[in-house]
Amino acid sequence: MSQPRPIENEQHREKMVYQVVEQVARYRLSVFASLERLPAFLDYGPREVRQVVQECERRQLIGSALLHANLRYWHLLAAGAEAFRCSEERIGPLSEPAKLRAFALLRFCCLSDTSRHHLAPDELRQHFPDLARPGLPNAYYFDPSGVGRLGFARIDAGRRGRWDRTLQSVQADMREHLAQAGFRRLIHAGRFEITVLTVFRQKAQRIHEALAKQVRGPCVPVNVVALPELLPLVISCP
């Protein structure tokens, strides 16, 4: 087994620093397992990842806090937010509900078998100008596989098994996107989907079965993904 090589030069180290802070800024948080997958780190090992993360901390670009009892996460500090033109509200540790939402998106986009790209509202307006409207939620992603699809992530953080309420929310999401001309064009072209991110596999199965039983079937493809890794965060949410 080949040994990880040392970081080649200062230019590449700066590229690594940029990608670390950019991911934290994009998702509001990141964890070590996700940072290891960044393109700049592909030829390097955990030691080099830690070195670069520590460099980011020394520069006060990012800080760390507990995600839950067994895992830490990194969040933006003021210098990192300034570098990526993020608002002040994105600086510092996240609230428990915000941690859950941010980690769910990070887990789905960066730590799944298929790599996806979370789109900030300004990026959505830039790449899909006909979708622009006030108050766009920060929950869209792009899946480059196949023909490429824009997606909307519905994060189900309910501790109780009220799958029916989640189903109602998904149906409302379908109606809302179908009512907008830009999204409707993507839907008819087979290039838009909704993904429900939930904790329990049983709940995911119930939602999936309920969608399949709809008389006319959903007009928008809906994926239901169970993320058991969210459970420690759900328990800690107020």
Mean pLDDT for the stretch of residues 68-91: 94
Boundary-marking domain end, from 33, 64, 93: 93
Do 208 and 141 share a structural domain? Answer: yes
Specify the pLDDT at position 208. 85
Helix (H, G, I), strand (E, B) or coil at 91: strand
Helices and strands counted in the chain (H then E):
10, 7
Do 125 and 143 share a structural domain? Answer: yes
Percent pLDDT > 90 in the chain is: 62
Specify the pLDDT at position 79. 97
Helix (H, G, I), strand (E, B) or coil at 62: strand
Mean pLDDT for the stretch of residues 121-134: 86
Other C-beta atoms closer than 10 Å to the C-beta of 169 total: 14
Q: Of the spans 52-56, 69-73, 219-223, which averages the highest pLDDT? A: 52-56
Which tokens belong to 67? Answer: 């995600």
Boundary-marking domain end, from 70, 93, 116: 93
Mean pLDDT, the chain, as a whole number?
89
Look at the chain and report how many structural domains it folds into.
Answer: 2
Rounded to whole angstroms, the Cα distance separating 180 from 158 reads: 28
Do 74 and 104 share a structural domain? Answer: no
Nearest to 151 by CA among 130, 174, 129: 174
Specify the pLDDT at position 2. 47
Q: Which domain holds residue 197?
A: 95-238
Instruction: Record the pTM.
Output: 0.90
Boundary-marking domain end, from 93, 114, 137: 93
Rounded to whole angstroms, the Cα distance separating 193 from 171 reads: 13
Mean pLDDT for the stretch of residues 13-25: 96
Mean pLDDT for the stretch of residues 221-231: 92
Do 77 and 27 share a structural domain? Answer: yes
Mean pLDDT for the stretch of residues 94-117: 94
